[in-house]
Chain A
């Protein structure tokens, strides 16, 4: 029963957050009023919306960080609102922007950048660099270049990487060892993955599979994981500019066919569309030996799993390759100047090296700054948990996440195509050709 906790956890989380918000406010109020100086200017009240996109009690961690910020900044008070999934948060913020009532700052998907620019909703942070938080040594070049690809456009920086991830391949070391494989040598290529999956898969006497070889979820961020496969097969889904995409390419077709073969031909994966949220649980409870998922689920998996957990690059076909993912901080237009400055102080504080390192340790997200990976606490953590280093190493092969004008729609088109192939509704080639046509129709408005 407890295995379904990811989903239950989300509900519990929402409730818990409500409580922690009340408690949080209760605590910060007195500290603020006893604040020493504070009275030369009025206290700036900031609103901050954030989603939780991976397994684990992340909202409690964020609230803790916000509380600490409020304690240490007597002239700014941030009210953090947990606003559901990424999609829910984007919906809420976009609606608020249209109603001319945006939050001061929010964490949204890095791929929402184009939409937010198209809506004229956010300010480039280049305009704000003069304002410094005492606690930070902000330098945009300190962030990993792979992460900045989804944060910069036309020479300007529109978002600050915060909870960023890449997909990785989780594997069950114990199961590998039992099957006579070296647990320190995870599969490097697609072929090896299939081979190892076959060796580790288990079935009962009647032929019913009791432990699958591999799970590749296809309900949540289907396009995201699939983009990784397409890159590995030779070509990224992103086009040369935001009004072009490459969905129907030989590489993508090869990738989709391979994905389909995992269940149809090789029989190492359950058929149909595997649930995104259930995959980490399936892996941690030993239902599958290999699982594709976000690095962001690492600490939740480590806490649950009762076997040796290995983390590896997404195996390559002709090359290694993964998209980056996750969320950036954005600062909105249409708020008072004082709010904009205060929001910028807050964002710098939240992404300061020590904090970025701690956040990565608590969650499994990538430490977004090079200096964060140099901190003592990160080094000590990697000493104990070498799995966490994989995502950083993989960044050298990282591509920007699939995006363009009207990203959510483009992403849904790819999701639908992959799901159509996995559920036998279309041939893989046909599904991708149709998807390309739909995408071109949407993007033609921007060309």
Chain B
């Protein structure tokens, strides 16, 4: 708004004959209009240095052939992307990542919501429950991974003590190609559900109690209140948590770095770990950059969908 007025003012100044006062006024206006840009300049400098510059140079590197065999970068066009498209390992990594997101996100978000409802319903017990659900998120991921690695190790892990006690056959979850990824997913869910509960709890406490009272007076049961009052009113929070959960799952790296290193036979290799390995273990800068660009596009798409959906939800809510 302020900027519009300034522009108008400048136009208006230009139409009158140039005079001493006129010039002075113009300069004042001009300074006023560029001033905000100078104010954000220091902040923008850091964005430029640490976000924009790396993104642009990454995009350029993705078009170059630079690896241990070709230490001097040469132009490769879309060669890296073509190779990526044809690489069975990359396909497998994408499939793993997709499966992992599908396993982790719905369960973690639903559990988070249920935890929040539970905590919200208890006065004094609530504080205790909150601590209980939240503590996994306080632990560093690497510790979480080490603890679970210990739990899941057959022969002497906690899980195997339990299965032995219950007379069940012992199963080495992380050594088996079909159970390694689900085992990682369980750990991720255990860690994150409590975190999402925190957001839902904030959302629940923002729901006007009068609306709920009114619904109850009209004979709505507990689940009807959740379905028809709480979830619709909290829709923006739900969308936000979903997005956060998807991004978190896409960015999983530390868990598998400690627990499986992508094995056995790449069955737990996720995109971020694959990217890391391509660059830092295999020294293939061109390919790693192409994977990064691909990843960036996926993340940007998820975020865009979130903004779009949340925006529509808010507008509907306002109407």
Instruction: Point out residues on A near B: beta carbons under 8 Å.
Output: 3-4, 7-8, 11, 87, 90-91, 94-95, 115, 118-120, 208, 218-219, 270-275, 278, 281-282, 285, 287, 405-406, 408-409, 412, 415-417, 419-420, 422-426, 445-446
Partner of B283, one of A120, A218, A406: A406
Consensus secondary structure, chain A interface: helix
Q: How far is the CB of A304 from chain B (nearest CB, A)?
A: 13
Tell whether, in the assembled complex, residue A423 and residue B283 are in contact, meaning their CB atoms are under 8 Å apart. Answer: no
Query: Given A95-B280, A219-B264, A415-B263, are A405 and B68 neighbors across the interface (CB < 8 Å)?
Result: yes
A residues near B176, Cβ cutoff 8 Å? 271-272, 423
Partner of A270, one of B150, B154, B263: B154
B residues near A274, Cβ cutoff 8 Å? 175
B16 at the interface (CB under 8 A from A): no
Q: How far is the CB of A184 from chain B (nearest CB, A)?
A: 28
Query: Given A282-B155, A416-B266, A423-B175, are A94 and B69 neighbors across the interface (CB < 8 Å)?
Result: no
Tell whether, in the assembled complex, residue B265 and residue A423 are in contact, meaning their CB atoms are under 8 Å apart. Answer: yes
B residues near A272, Cβ cutoff 8 Å? 172, 175-176, 264
Query: Given A275-B175, A406-B68, A406-B69, are A420 and B155 neighbors across the interface (CB < 8 Å)?
Result: no
Tell whether, in the assembled complex, residue B281 and residue A408 are in contact, meaning their CB atoms are under 8 Å apart. Answer: yes
| Smallest Cβ-Cβ distance to B157: which chain A residue | A4
| Smallest Cβ-Cβ distance to B83: which chain A residue | A441
A residues near B261, Cβ cutoff 8 Å? 219
Tell whether, in the assembled complex, residue A270 and residue B280 are in contact, meaning their CB atoms are under 8 Å apart. Answer: no
| Smallest Cβ-Cβ distance to B150: which chain A residue | A4
Please report the C-alpha to C-alpha distance between residue A386 and residue B258 in the assembled complex, in whole angstroms: 36
Q: How far is the CB of A447 from chain B (nearest CB, A)?
A: 10
Please report the C-alpha to C-alpha distance between residue A405 and residue B281 in the assembled complex, in whole angstroms: 13
Q: How far is the CB of B180 from chain A (nearest CB, A)?
A: 9
Q: How far is the CB of B96 from chain A (nearest CB, A)?
A: 13
Tell whether, in the assembled complex, residue A409 and residue B264 are in contact, meaning their CB atoms are under 8 Å apart. Answer: no
| Smallest Cβ-Cβ distance to B178: which chain A residue | A423
A residues near B69, Cβ cutoff 8 Å? 118, 405-406, 445-446
B156 at the interface (CB under 8 A from A): yes
Tell whether, in the assembled complex, residue B280 and residue A420 are in contact, meaning their CB atoms are under 8 Å apart. Answer: no
Q: How far is the CB of A270 from chain B (nearest CB, A)?
A: 7
Tell whether, in the assembled complex, residue A287 and residue B155 are in contact, meaning their CB atoms are under 8 Å apart. Answer: yes
A residues near B281, Cβ cutoff 8 Å? 87, 90-91, 408-409, 412
Per the 8 Å Cβ criterion, residues 203-256 of B in contact with A are none
Q: How far is the CB of B130 from chain A (nearest CB, A)?
A: 29
Q: How far is the CB of A212 from chain B (nearest CB, A)?
A: 9
Please report the C-alpha to C-alpha distance between residue A38 and residue B165 in the assembled complex, in whole angstroms: 67
Residues 170-195 of chain B: 1 if any A CB is under 8 Å from the residue's CB, otherwise 0?
A: 10101111000000000000000000
| Known A4-B156, A7-B146, A423-B267; further 17 A-B contacts with Cβ < 8 A | A4-B153, A7-B149, A8-B146, A95-B280, A218-B264, A272-B172, A287-B155, A287-B156, A405-B68, A406-B67, A406-B282, A408-B281, A409-B282, A416-B266, A423-B264, A425-B177, A426-B265
Please report the C-alpha to C-alpha distance between residue A239 and residue B283 in the assembled complex, in whole angstroms: 22
| Smallest Cβ-Cβ distance to B269: which chain A residue | A416
6 residue pairs from A and B, CB less than 8 Å apart = A3-B156, A271-B175, A272-B175, A285-B156, A406-B69, A409-B282
Tell whether, in the assembled complex, residue B155 and residue A273 are in contact, meaning their CB atoms are under 8 Å apart. Answer: no
Query: Given A7-B146, A118-B71, are A273 and B153 neighbors across the interface (CB < 8 Å)?
Result: no
B28 at the interface (CB under 8 A from A): no
B70 at the interface (CB under 8 A from A): yes
Instruction: Point out residues on B near A: beta carbons under 8 Å.
Output: 67-71, 146, 149-150, 153-157, 169-170, 172, 174-177, 261, 263-267, 277, 280-283
B residues near A445, Cβ cutoff 8 Å? 67, 69-70
Please report the C-alpha to C-alpha distance between residue A273 and residue B264 in the assembled complex, in whole angstroms: 7
Please report the C-alpha to C-alpha distance between residue A9 and residue B283 in the assembled complex, in whole angstroms: 30
A residues near B266, Cβ cutoff 8 Å? 416
Q: How far is the CB of A93 from chain B (nearest CB, A)?
A: 11
Tell whether, in the assembled complex, residue B156 and residue A270 are in contact, meaning their CB atoms are under 8 Å apart. Answer: no
Interface centre among A95, A120, A278, A424 (most CB of B within 10 A): A278
Tell whether, in the assembled complex, residue A419 and residue B263 are in contact, meaning their CB atoms are under 8 Å apart. Answer: yes
Please report the C-alpha to C-alpha distance between residue A446 and residue B71 in the assembled complex, in whole angstroms: 12
Please report the C-alpha to C-alpha distance between residue A274 and residue B68 in the assembled complex, in whole angstroms: 32
Partner of A419, one of B67, B264, B282: B264
A residues near B172, Cβ cutoff 8 Å? 270-272
A residues near B71, Cβ cutoff 8 Å? 118-120
Please report the C-alpha to C-alpha distance between residue A282 and residue B146 in the assembled complex, in whole angstroms: 18
Tell whether, in the assembled complex, residue A416 and residue B153 are in contact, meaning their CB atoms are under 8 Å apart. Answer: no
B residues near A275, Cβ cutoff 8 Å? 153, 174-175
Tell whether, in the assembled complex, residue A419 and residue B265 are in contact, meaning their CB atoms are under 8 Å apart. Answer: yes
A residues near B280, Cβ cutoff 8 Å? 91, 94-95
Q: How far is the CB of B87 from chain A (nearest CB, A)?
A: 10
The 9 closest A-B pairs by CB, nearest first: A272-B175, A445-B69, A423-B177, A419-B265, A420-B265, A419-B264, A273-B264, A91-B280, A409-B282
Please report the C-alpha to C-alpha distance between residue A428 and residue B221 in the assembled complex, in whole angstroms: 60
Tell whether, in the assembled complex, residue B264 and residue A422 are in contact, meaning their CB atoms are under 8 Å apart. Answer: yes
B residues near A219, Cβ cutoff 8 Å? 175, 261, 263-264
Please report the C-alpha to C-alpha distance between residue A376 and residue B154 in the assembled complex, in whole angstroms: 43
Please report the C-alpha to C-alpha distance between residue A408 and residue B68 in the assembled complex, in whole angstroms: 11
